[in-house]
């Protein structure tokens, strides 16, 4: 039993229809548990007050915004090397989800930043690089939209995803460089990883696992939709020929 | 290969080739920004490096969709793809032609426009150096974007959407060189990073672009 | 020097259009492709030219021996007749621009820009390009479109001279070019019976 069997659309549909409710259910449980624990049963931070609790949305969504891109990259490579259609469709499915996570990370970052830094938006390196990541997602999705032939679109978006990954990484370092160079940035830094104590850390872990499961569930769902749409167009094409 | 370069240059310089449009656009940016920002020369001096780089970048963007789309429409791209020249070479030559027609004139004209924006005197040298080092990357990255969108009708807007995020590192390092240069600071690190991006893009992107063209010709 | 096509299947837009196409073309031979519109003549020629992958079967020809003459002529409107030809000659590393212009009756038009040529003259220029590629196998897609009777005869003579010199031609056309010696291949019997089963295309059985 090889892993590649799941690349067959039929096999994927069977397995995912069985797995989807479990993944979705677990993600709801983890999210509900993690968020309730985090929001109501952790103490306020002595410095940041209750605003610190936005961490439970901000950090996991930021992580998943990056992980979604990595997943897209892996799926694109699989498509380019092995020509499995499910892989290309999964990459397509992940795009809007990744963009949504990026948007959530940005909005929660702004909400957090307003009381903390006194401004809705600062060109902090992290915020800036997420904004740029969002632009990469937009371009990737726009290319999928613009190309009519599905296999051509899959090829082109895969190439874009590979090249884009390199440039997204470069942008990340460029932005770090740029901000230090301008603002001597320390005033706006927020060393959250170092600050977070166990009290916040455990519910955060639960939330992160909830977001991972949510991402998997959404990707499964959207990939199933894409497969059905693809099957529909295949059937229509066959009908036209008959 | 030389024949292709000469043909592309000839096409650009003859009527309707679009040579000079990018330069005119660059000039307009340098005129409009002070009109929008106000005549305060200290403010202009501060934003000049960024405005000049953003202006050059947008001027470069204007002519990108011509790199492959015209050859695609009249069938030349099919014929080039079946010619003895490797498609990677075709991409590299066309990017070079694009740079000679846009990037190089922008680089040479930038000091003149910098006068309009009150760029501090030490910045001029680094403005030219950074554009010379960075605009080739803009052309090659743009050629990659043009290759992705060559089969799409009215793909110009999409092309901008794909290419602009890819321009971010080049823009940041390029403008940083000028900014530091204008302040009389050390510019070695960003200039090296900028050159590194250009070298990497020139070396690798023609392969990705050629792959995209092959997909689009299918 | 031989072009051998065996059991070739070609696809357009993810659907297999032709399958089981086999033929041999030896030096000096010409093959005329016939078939109704949409049967896949252009797709077949583009596949042979290497512009798109074959779905099944094999094409064997010496490397860089084929040149493709498409619907579009690949001309630049702002370049003159001679400049257009000289460009393609330089790309292929061969000469013969003057000779090609003479053969296609373009010498008088050499300094005229392609933008100012009539449709038939453009077509003649596009066909003259074949002569400066130095390649033996010509893949021609409706070469006679917009040519008048005299030009068709002229081009027929050019093709015949090419064949006499050991060249080959594969021509998709509906009109008689006066190539009596050419074999005719009717593509209608090769129309794909199972367009969806194409392994290389998007319609693997699991999707349909």
- pLDDT tens sequence across A208-229: 999 999 999 999 999 999 999 8
**B212:A159 CB<8 A:** yes
Ranges assigned E (strand) in C27-96 = 30-34, 56-60, 66-69
Whether residue A234 and residue C195 make contact (CB cut-off 8 A), yes or no, is no
Residue C155 lies in a domain: yes
Over its C-alpha atoms, chain C yields an Rg (Å, rounded) of 18
Average pLDDT over residues B204-210: 96
- Reported in sequence order, the residue ranges of A112-211 that DSSP labels E, i.e. its strands, are none
Asked if the structure places residue C81 within a domain, the reply is yes
What does pLDDT average to over chain A? 84
Q: Do A234 and C207 touch (CB under 8 A)?
A: yes
| Residue C121 lies inside a defined structural domain of this protein | yes
> How many helices and strands, by DSSP H and E, does chain A display?
7, 0
B193/A177 CB distance under 8 A: yes
CA B74, CA B69: separation in Å to the nearest integer? 9
Instruction: Look at residue A136 and tell me if it is in a domain.
Output: yes
Chain centroid, CA A130 distance in Å: 11
Q: In the structure, what pLDDT confidence band is assigned to residue B211 with cuts at 50, 70 and 90?
A: very high
Instruction: Name the residue among B151, B164, B208 with its Cβ closest to that of A159.
Output: B208
Q: Is C138 on the interface with B (CB under 8 A)?
A: no
pLDDT at A43 over 80: no
Classify residue C69: in a domain, yes or no.
yes
Q: Checking DSSP bridges between strand C56-60 and strand C66-69, what pairing results, if any? A: unpaired
- Is 80 exceeded by the pLDDT of residue A117? no
Does A28 map to a domain? no
pLDDT recorded at residue A182? 39
Examine residue C19 and state whether it is found in any structural domain, yes or no.
no
Query: Cβ contacts (< 8 Å) between A231 and chain C: which residues?
Result: 207-208
Distance from CA of B72 to the nearest CA of A (A): 16
Cα separation of C47 and C49, whole Å?
A: 5
Q: Is pLDDT above 60 for C24?
A: yes
Residues A71, A77, A83, A89, CA torsion sign:
positive
β-bridge partners, C185:
C33
Shortest distance between the Cα of B178 and any Cα of chain A, in A, equals 12
| Domain presence at residue C11 | no
Whole-angstrom distance, CA of residue B82 vs CA of residue C201:
23
Q: Is the pLDDT of residue C204 over 70?
A: no
Chains touching C (at least 3 CB pairs under 8 A) are A, B
Residue A231 belongs to a domain: no
Q: What's the distance, CA C42 to chain centroid?
A: 9
Are C149 and C119 a contacting pair, CB within 8 Å? no
Q: Which of C12, C74, C94 to probe by mutation at the B interface, max B CB count within 10 Å? A: C74
Domain count, chain C: 1
Residue with tokens 């043009």: B146
Counted domains in chain A: 1
Q: pLDDT-derived band of residue A71, with 50, 70 and 90 as boundaries?
A: very high
A238 to chain C: nearest residue by CA? C196
Instruction: Give the model's confidence band at B99: pLDDT under 50 very low, under 70 low, under 90 confident, else very high.
Output: very high
Strands C168-172 and C183-186: unpaired
C-alpha to C-alpha distance for C193 and C204, rounded to whole angstroms: 15
**pLDDT for the residue A186:** 36
Reduce the DSSP state of residue C6 to 3 states and report it. Answer: strand
pLDDT mean over C132-161? 88
Within 8 A of B218 by CB-CB distance, chain C residues are: 51-53
In this prediction the ipTM stands at 0.91
Q: Which of C12, C42, C51, C114 best tests the B interface by mutation, with the highest count of B CBs <10 A?
A: C51
Q: What is the CATH number of the domain that holds C124?
A: 3.40.50.300
Mean predicted confidence (pLDDT) in A122-137 = 89
Contact A130, A102 (CB under 8 A): yes
Inside any domain, residue A214: no
Mean pLDDT score, B83-89 = 91
Residue C23: count of CB within 10 angstroms of its CB: 15
Residue in chain C lying closest to A10 (CA): C206
Q: Let me know if residue A153 belongs to a domain.
A: yes
Yes or no: say if C22 and C7 are a contact pair by the CB < 8 Å rule.
Answer: yes
The answer to whether position A78 is within a domain reads yes
Separation of alpha carbons B1 and A224, rounded Å: 48
- Which among A8, A150, A241 has the least Cβ separation from residue C202? A150
Measured in angstroms, the CA of A143 and the nearest CA of chain C are apart by 18
Residues in A 139-198 with any Cβ partner in B closer than 8 A: 139, 142-143, 146-147, 152, 155-156, 159-160, 162-164, 167-168, 170-171, 173-175, 177-178, 181-182
Q: Is A80 on the interface with B (CB under 8 A)?
A: no
Residue-number span of the structural domain to which A127 is assigned: 53-186
C123 occurs within a structural domain: yes
pLDDT tens digits along C147-180 = 888 888 888 888 888 888 888 888 888 877 777 7
Per-residue confidence (pLDDT) for residue B13, from 0 to 100: 85
Tell me which residue range forms the domain holding C140. Answer: 32-51+63-184
């Amino acid at each position: 039993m090889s892993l590649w069997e799941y690349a067959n659309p039929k096999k994927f549909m069977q397995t995912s229809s069985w797995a989807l409710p479990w993944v979705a259910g677990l993600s709801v449980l983890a999210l509900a548990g993690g968020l309730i624990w985090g929001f109501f049963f952790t103490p306020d931070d002595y410095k940041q007050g209750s605003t610190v609790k936005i961490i439970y949305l901000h950090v996991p969504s930021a992580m998943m915004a990056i992980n979604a891109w990595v997943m897209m990259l892996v799926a694109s490579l699989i498509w380019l090397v092995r020509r499995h259609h499910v892989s290309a469709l999964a990459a397509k499915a992940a795009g809007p989800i990744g963009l949504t996570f990026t948007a959530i990370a940005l909005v929660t970052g702004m909400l957090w930043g307003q009381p903390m830094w006194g401004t809705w938006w600062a060109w902090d390196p992290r915020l800036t690089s997420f904004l740029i990541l969002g632009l990469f997602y937009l371009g990737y999705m726009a290319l999928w939209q613009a190309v009519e032939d599905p296999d051509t679109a899959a090829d082109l978006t895969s190439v874009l995803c590979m090249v884009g990954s390199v440039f997204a990484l470069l942008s990340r370092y460029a932005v770090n460089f740029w901000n230090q160079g301008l603002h001597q940035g320390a005033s706006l830094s927020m060393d959250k990883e170092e600050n977070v104590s166990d009290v916040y850390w455990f519910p955060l872990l639960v939330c992160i696992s909830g977001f991972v499961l949510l991402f998997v569930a959404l990707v499964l769902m959207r990939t199933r939709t894409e497969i059905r749409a693809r099957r529909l167009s295949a059937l229509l094409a066959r009908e036209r020929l008959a | 290969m030389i024949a292709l370069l000469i043909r592309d240059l000839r096409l650009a310089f003859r009527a309707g080739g679009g040579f000079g449009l990018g330069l005119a656009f660059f000039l307009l940016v340098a005129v409009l920004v002070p009109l929008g920002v106000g005549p305060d020369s200290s403010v202009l001096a501060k934003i000049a490096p960024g405005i000049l780089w953003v202006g050059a970048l947008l001027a470069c963007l204007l002519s990108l969709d011509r790199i492959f789309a015209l050859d695609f429409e009249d069938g030349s791209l099919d014929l080039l793809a079946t010619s003895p020249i490797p498609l990677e070479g075709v991409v590299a030559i066309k990017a070079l032609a694009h740079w000679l027609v846009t990037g190089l004139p922008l680089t040479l004209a930038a000091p003149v426009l910098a006068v309009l924006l009150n760029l501090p005197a030490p910045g001029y040298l680094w403005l030219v150096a950074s554009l010379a080092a960075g605009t080739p990357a803009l052309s090659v990255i743009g050629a990659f974007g043009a290759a992705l969108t060559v089969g799409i009708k009215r793909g110009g807007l999409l092309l901008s959407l794909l290419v602009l995020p890819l321009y971010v590192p080049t823009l940041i390092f390029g403008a940083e060189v000028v900014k530091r240069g204008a302040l009389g600071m050390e510019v070695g690190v960003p200039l090296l990073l900028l050159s590194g991006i250009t070298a990497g893009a020139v070396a690798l992107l023609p392969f990705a672009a050629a792959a995209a063209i092959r997909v689009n010709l299918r | 020097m031989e072009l051998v096509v065996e059991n070739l299947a070609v696809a357009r837009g993810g659907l297999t259009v032709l399958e089981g196409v086999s033929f041999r073309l030896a030096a000096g031979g010409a093959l005329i492709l016939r078939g109704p519109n949409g049967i896949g003549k252009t797709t077949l020629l583009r596949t042979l030219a290497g512009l798109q992958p074959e779905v099944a079967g094999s094409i064997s020809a010496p490397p860089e021996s084929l040149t493709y003459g498409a619907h579009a002529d690949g001309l630049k409107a702002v370049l003159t007749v001679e400049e257009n030809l000289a460009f393609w000659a330089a790309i292929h590393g061969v000469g013969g621009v003057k000779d090609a212009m003479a053969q296609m009756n373009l010498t008088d038009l050499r300094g005229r820009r392609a933008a100012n040529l009539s449709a038939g003259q453009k077509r003649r220029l596009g066909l003259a390009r074949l002569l400066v590629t130095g390649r033996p196998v010509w893949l021609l897609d409706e070469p006679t479109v917009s040519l008048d009777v005299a030009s068709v005869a002229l081009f027929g003579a050019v093709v015949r001279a090419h064949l006499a010199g050991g060249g080959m031609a594969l021509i998709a056309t509906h009109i008689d070019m006066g190539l009596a010696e050419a074999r005719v291949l009717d593509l209608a019997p090769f129309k794909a019976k199972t367009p969806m089963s194409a392994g290389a295309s998007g319609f693997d059985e699991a999707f349909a």
